[in-house]
Amino acid sequence: LFLQPKFNAASHRLVGAEALLRWRHPERGLVPPMQFIPALEDTGMVIEVGAWVRREGLRIWKEWQAAGHDGLRVAVNVSARELRHSDFVAQCAGLLEPHLGEHGLDIEITESMLMDDISKSVSVLQELRALGCRIGIDDFGTGYSSLNYLSRLPADTLKIDQSFTSAIALSADTLSLVTNIIGLAHSLGLSVVAEGVEKEEQAKLLRLLRCDELQGYHLGRPMPVADFRKQFLD
Ligand code: C2E
Ligand code: MG
Ligand code: MG
């Protein structure tokens, strides 16, 4: 697992990290998730790997906690196949129930995935929240959420997709879209994270628009867990 930092936009403080899977291949080097997660999904191995990701995420959080870094959170990604799996909620409950009311493990799920089966998604998300996870809607703006449905989703955070962030300083239409996504999210009681912040001018605009958190290469790349500790926690 690699970790990428997330920062509070206004205070510039570290708020936590997103855990991103990497495969260390003997010849191909570090393989990005888009190149192997589809295979994990097709073979069903994603169930086992996903459970490992959550265990690791919780372990990392516990280590930080033990080192006195209170309040930091770790978010992990969950795929469609996992979300629909009959044991998913039970597995999460087994992991998190011993830490109820105190752990900092959050879940990110892409918007398009949630829309596939709305009522199932809503009930699973409700159960995850009852286990103390905050729910982030990933890649927001690339799926086709109905606004009616968005207001009923048990979620805490919208993650504005990279494609918007990268165009925010270049296109008046994108700037207007992002302004309104942030306003909409806040009026529904959701916080907003911008993904893919690569430039200071993007960060500046997002702060002016009252985006809550920033994540991207400009603030920190995904890196091994030990490097993350050295760079941000020591
Ligand atoms: P995501 O959850 O939307 O993660 C953000 C992706 O954007 C990551 O790609 C990250 O490395 C990349 N990124 C971050 N900042 C920047 C930036 O400033 N510029 C650009 N161009 N890219 C940036 P990565 O690590 O290749 O992951 C791709 C996707 O794979 C993730 O998208 C997520 O959907 C999925 N994924 C990653 N880890 C896991 C996992 O453990 N389980 C599951 N089911 N999916 C995962
Ligand atoms: Mg994510
Ligand atoms: Mg994303």
Q: Which ligand is nearest to the CA of 161?
A: 3
Give the Å distance between the CA of 28 and the centre of ligand 1. Answer: 19
**Nearest ligand, CA 160:** 3
Give the amino acid at 101: G
Q: Are strands 157-160 and 135-140 parallel, antiparallel or unpaired?
A: parallel
Over residues 58-108, the pLDDT tens digits come to 999 999 999 999 999 999 999 988 998 999 999 999 999 999 989 999 999
What average pLDDT does the structure give for the chain?
95
Q: How confident is the model at residue 203 (pLDDT cuts 50, 70, 90)?
A: very high
**Nearest 10 degrees: Cα torsion 52, 53, 56, 58:** -110
Nearest Cα residue to atom 30 of ligand 1: 33
Of ligand 1's atoms, which has the minimum distance to the CA of residue 20?
38
Residue nearest atom 4 of ligand 1, based on CA coordinates: 20
- Would you state the pLDDT for residue 113? 84
Amino acid (one-letter) located at 118: I
Percent of the chain with pLDDT over 70: 100
pLDDT tens digits, residue range 113-138? 887 788 889 999 999 999 999 999 99
